[in-house]
Chain A
Amino acid sequence: MKRQLHTFVWAGLAVVAAICLGAIATSRGEPVNSFWIIAAAVSIFLIGFRFYGKFIAAKVMALDDRRATPAEKFRDGHDFEPTNKWILFGHHFAAIAGPGPLVGPTLAAQFGYLPGLLWILFGAVLGGAVQDFTILFCSMRRDGKSLGQMAREEIGKTGGLVALVTVLLIMIILLAVVALVVVNALKGSPWGTFTIAATMPIAVFMGLYLRYWRPGKVLECSAIGFVLVLLAVFGGEWVAHSASWAPLFTMSGIALAFAIIVYGFLASALPVWLLLAPRDYLSTFIKLGVILLLALGICIAHPRLELPPLTQFTNGLGPIFAGKIFPFCFITIACGAISGFHALISSGTTPKMITREWHAWPIGYGSMLLEGFVGIMALVAAASLAPGVFFAVNSPGGIVGATPAAATATITSWGFPVTAGHMADLARQVGETSLFSRTGGAPSLALGMAHIFARTGGGDAILSFWYHFAIMFEALFILTIIDAGTRVGRFMLQDLLGHIHKPLGRVHWMPGILSTSALIVGAWGYFLYQGVVDPLGGINSLWPLFGIANQLLSAIALCVATTVFIKMHRAKYIWITGVPLVWLLITTFTAGWQKIFSPEPRLGFLAQANALTSALAAGRVTAEHAAATQTQIFNNRLDAAVCAIFMILVAVIVLDSFRVWYGLLRGTRSAATSEAPFVLTQLEAESL
């Protein structure tokens, strides 16, 4: 009876998924209600979790709850600690959820909502969740080893070194691109800039509170910090309307870029308890709270999607970024569908805290599906904006025209009507002076979220509060990524430079701290500056570069997982990691090749450099712009070189993996694995 009920429920869910997808597929020329999308996503993710995830856990990995996990074997009260399954689920999800699943789907909405939706649904189930789950499994069976260690031990020394260098390079591009998102969200916005600036003294106050006044009371301190941040959002409105204060916080893109660079340096060099850690605590709670709030808001408001399912920009001539739907949709949405960075988390803290092997199924596979759902919500929020507004906010002035009249005329000519008056009204409603050309995805996402929140309660009267609350939420946790990432980059660099000059490797030697912090900040700061001054908006070149890098890291992770499966004598199942690996290699190498060699100047870095060189030689560039044009030429060549380095590094590890797999499958290579030997668990059943 129970079995029949079980079959009935899952069959019912499959029917719901089919009906919802059918409703989306057959709606042509009229807006679709987001209800269908949310219901389809929930059904597909649940089915994927229950059947595909469980199949991998049972048949391929043969998870065994009798086997002691690293948390039990090395229990130390610190890193290694058996933890409740759902608490660890929340912990792992908080660690993998970043701005990627929010920004990527928003940018990819230039193709329409359908490509991004399908890629998130199927990419997460068949790719992202598989990667996170398999790497978590591999690390758990190897005493909690990192991805780099596993690459070195399972594939070879080259793999480990390539993984380390790739991570460092990705980190630099990641920090630059997320900083650019913040700059574009805050430039010319005294309200937003004040709110974010206020979070810094608030974080320092929290740091001092935790250090000296109420040591250990992190939750209490975070609650106080949250109230202070809310007050800062309210205070921002007053600042924006103050004749004397508003100019102080009305900053250009370049000024904001330098402010963030200085902030990154300070956060990396200052004691971690003073600024970085309290901000991190605060941003983690706000992030989870807002994601929950957005889910509730979408369920209550269930807005219509105003964007069409497909736009004409599938042809590669989109204003937000250049490139056709294949491969660029799959590069633009990395986090939310499949993200290499997750492999670092899955082989970081989480495997050291798992109590039972079977817990890896909900934690590794389930958390990624939840992140996919966050991506779907971001897509809904962005697509619920009128298409004209969406493109007016996200298109750079260099593409649509620098004045409101020119921009609205261009966007209207694409078939997405919008007027300068409507944009001015909207800007006034959200407390901004202008919403044109706010590239990067954050402002349009904030607009969409604000409309959803306002419809849930409060109406348009508090639209401006919700808009700046959403901007604060996005900027706060992006800045946490910047300061934590800069610090991590500093450690990695110190580790590398320590081999050349020993004192540089010492993490407490102040000259070493300052010089390596400056090097890391200088590296991402340069790319950030390049993005800020780019007439095409910066996102056009940096986001695809980041997407390619992130997906290539994913390819490394899938190579490791495939190698482990073959060594476990599960070669008949290598399609599980092999199919997403092949897909990623095809998309990333195609995208990388096009970004370097495409003859279209907006798409190809070298083509753009050549076009600018020709313009200079032909005297079509005025003397005052000559130096800036030379810099642009250099930047394009630099981007091409960075992209090529990523591709070469990953090609090396993939070829190395093929060599290992060939030897293993032919039987000419030993299938020795670094898997830890079986140890019977001593934990009582009730303690699980």
Chain B
Amino acid sequence: MRVLARLWTTLVGIARELSDESAYARHLAYTGRPHSMGEWHSFSDARLRRKYQQGKCC
């Protein structure tokens, strides 16, 4: 059961990392600012700008 729980935690962790939700949570924690539409916009714009300066793999 513990193995399954760990597997689930890892899968959710991967999904949150791929969806940038973890990165956003880190951003909020790092800056100490609360979540808001404007905060998401500034985080997302900067992250996506960096993300799409690198190619997708073939």
Binary interface profile of A, 86-124, with partner B (CB < 8 Å = 1, else 0)? Answer: 111011001111111000000000000000000000000
Q: From known contacts A94-B18, A98-B56, A348-B54, infer whether A81 and B13 are also in contact, taking CB-CB under 8 Å.
A: no
Q: Does B2 contact A (CB under 8 A)?
A: no
Which label, helix, strand, loop or mixed, suits the secondary structure of the A interface?
A: helix
CB pair A488–B54 under 8 Å, yes or no, is yes
CB pair B30–A86 under 8 Å, yes or no, is no
CB pair A484–B55 under 8 Å, yes or no, is yes
CB pair B58–A78 under 8 Å, yes or no, is no
A246-254, A335-343, A608-616, A629-637 - the one binding chain B:
A335-343
Q: How far is the CA of A278 from the CA of B22 in the complex (A)?
A: 16
CB pair B52–A488 under 8 Å, yes or no, is yes
Q: How far is the CA of A670 from the CA of B27 in the complex (A)?
A: 42
CB pair A480–B56 under 8 Å, yes or no, is yes
Q: How far is the CA of A207 from the CA of B24 in the complex (A)?
A: 17
Which label, helix, strand, loop or mixed, suits the secondary structure of the B interface?
A: helix
Q: How far is the CA of A284 from the CA of B57 in the complex (A)?
A: 12
Interface residue ranges of B23-58 to A (CB < 8 Å) = 23-24, 26-27, 29-31, 35-37, 40-41, 44-58
CB pair A487–B50 under 8 Å, yes or no, is no
Q: Which of B41, B46, B52 has the most CB of A within 10 A?
A: B52
CB pair A488–B55 under 8 Å, yes or no, is yes
Q: How far is the CA of A255 from the CA of B10 in the complex (A)?
A: 44
- Which one of A216, A273, A341 contacts B57 once the chains associate, using CB atoms below 8 Å? A341
Complex interface: chain A residues within 8 A of B24 (CB): 216
CB pair B45–A215 under 8 Å, yes or no, is no
Complex interface: chain A residues within 8 A of B13 (CB): 84, 86-87, 90
Interface residue ranges of A209-226 to B (CB < 8 Å) = 210-212, 215-219, 222
Among residues of A, the one whose C-beta sits closest to the C-beta of B46 is A78
Q: Does A440 contact B (CB under 8 A)?
A: no
Binary interface profile of A, 338-362, with partner B (CB < 8 Å = 1, else 0)? Answer: 0101101100110000000000000
CB pair A491–B53 under 8 Å, yes or no, is yes
CB pair B57–A339 under 8 Å, yes or no, is yes
Q: How far is the CA of A138 from the CA of B2 in the complex (A)?
A: 36
Complex interface: chain B residues within 8 A of A211 (CB): 41
Q: How far is the CA of A90 from the CA of B17 in the complex (A)?
A: 9
> What count of chain B residues pass the 8 Å CB interface test?
39
Complex interface: chain A residues within 8 A of B21 (CB): 216-219
Q: Does A416 contact B (CB under 8 A)?
A: no
Q: How far is the CA of A612 from the CA of B41 in the complex (A)?
A: 56
CB pair A87–B10 under 8 Å, yes or no, is yes
> What count of chain A residues pass the 8 Å CB interface test?
58
Q: From known contacts A81-B26, A87-B10, A218-B20, infer whether A98 and B49 are also in contact, taking CB-CB under 8 Å.
A: no
CB pair A78–B47 under 8 Å, yes or no, is yes
Q: Does A277 contact B (CB under 8 A)?
A: yes
Q: How far is the CA of A349 from the CA of B57 in the complex (A)?
A: 13
- Which one of A76, A280, A491 contacts B30 once the chains associate, using CB atoms below 8 Å? A76
CB pair A481–B56 under 8 Å, yes or no, is yes
Complex interface: chain B residues within 8 A of A339 (CB): 57-58
Complex interface: chain B residues within 8 A of A485 (CB): 55-56
Q: Which of B11, B47, B53 has the most CB of A within 10 A?
A: B53
Complex interface: chain A residues within 8 A of B50 (CB): 78-79
Q: A78-B46, A91-B17, A334-B58 given; name 10 further pairs at CB < 8 Å.
A: A81-B26, A99-B58, A216-B24, A216-B35, A273-B44, A277-B51, A281-B19, A339-B57, A345-B54, A488-B52
Instruction: Identify the B interface with A (CB < 8 A).
Output: 10-11, 13-24, 26-27, 29-31, 35-37, 40-41, 44-58
For this complex, 27 residue pairs linking A to B, each with C-beta atoms less than 8 Å apart, are A78-B23, A86-B14, A87-B14, A94-B18, A96-B57, A167-B55, A212-B37, A215-B36, A218-B21, A219-B16, A219-B21, A276-B48, A277-B44, A277-B51, A277-B52, A281-B18, A281-B20, A335-B57, A339-B57, A341-B57, A342-B57, A345-B54, A349-B54, A480-B56, A484-B52, A484-B55, A488-B53
